[in-house]
């Protein structure tokens, strides 16, 4: 599975960006997908996660109410709509995934669980 992010860029505080993560290879139905970010000098943190078959979505407290995750199962595409961006959202954003072929929806927030990673896309928010 290869993941390719797009949509990063530069935006002023209060603005919006939409990130996309395109997956090649196997179907997304059996894969958990997560968005992580890493700001300069800080550890990577989880932002939003979606379980296999899109049955559950989680947002971290830092982005809840501002970010929205969309998953297009037919196009193997996972998007992150980011609104009301703030300077503290500045980071390199990564999408990642791992296979979880189970009937029960599940998602991990532990980056060590994620097997596949995209190359990252820079998001910069000016004050």
β-strands 9-12, 91-99 pairing = unpaired
Whether 106 has a pLDDT exceeding 90, the answer reads no
d(Cα 74, Cα 92) in Å, to the nearest integer?
27
| 28 burial via Cβ count (<10 Å: 0-12, 13-18, 19+) | buried
> What letter does residue 63 receive in the DSSP assignment?
T
Q: Distance (Å, rounded) from C-alpha 30 to C-alpha 43?
A: 28
Share of the chain above pLDDT 90, in %: 74
Q: Within 10 Å of residue 22's Cβ, how many Cβ atoms? A: 17
When pLDDT is averaged across residues 85-98 and rounded to a whole number, the result is: 97
- The stretch 81-98 carries a mean pLDDT of 97
Q: What is the pLDDT of residues 35-71, one digit of tens each?
A: 999 999 999 999 999 998 887 899 999 999 999 999 8
């Amino acid at each position: 599975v290869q993941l390719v992010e797009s949509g990063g860029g530069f935006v002023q505080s209060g603005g919006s960006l939409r990130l996309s993560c395109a997956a090649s290879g196997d179907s997304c139905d059996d894969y958990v997908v997560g968005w992580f970010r890493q700001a300069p000098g800080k550890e990577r943190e989880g932002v939003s996660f979606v379980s296999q078959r899109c049955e559950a979505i989680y947002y971290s407290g830092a982005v809840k109410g501002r970010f929205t995750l969309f998953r297009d199962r037919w196009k193997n595409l996972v998007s992150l709509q980011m609104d009301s961006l703030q300077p503290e959202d500045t980071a390199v954003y990564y999408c990642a995934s791992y296979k979880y072929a189970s009937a029960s929806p599940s998602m991990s927030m532990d980056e060590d669980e994620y097997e596949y990673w995209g190359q990252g896309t820079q998001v910069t928010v000016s004050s």
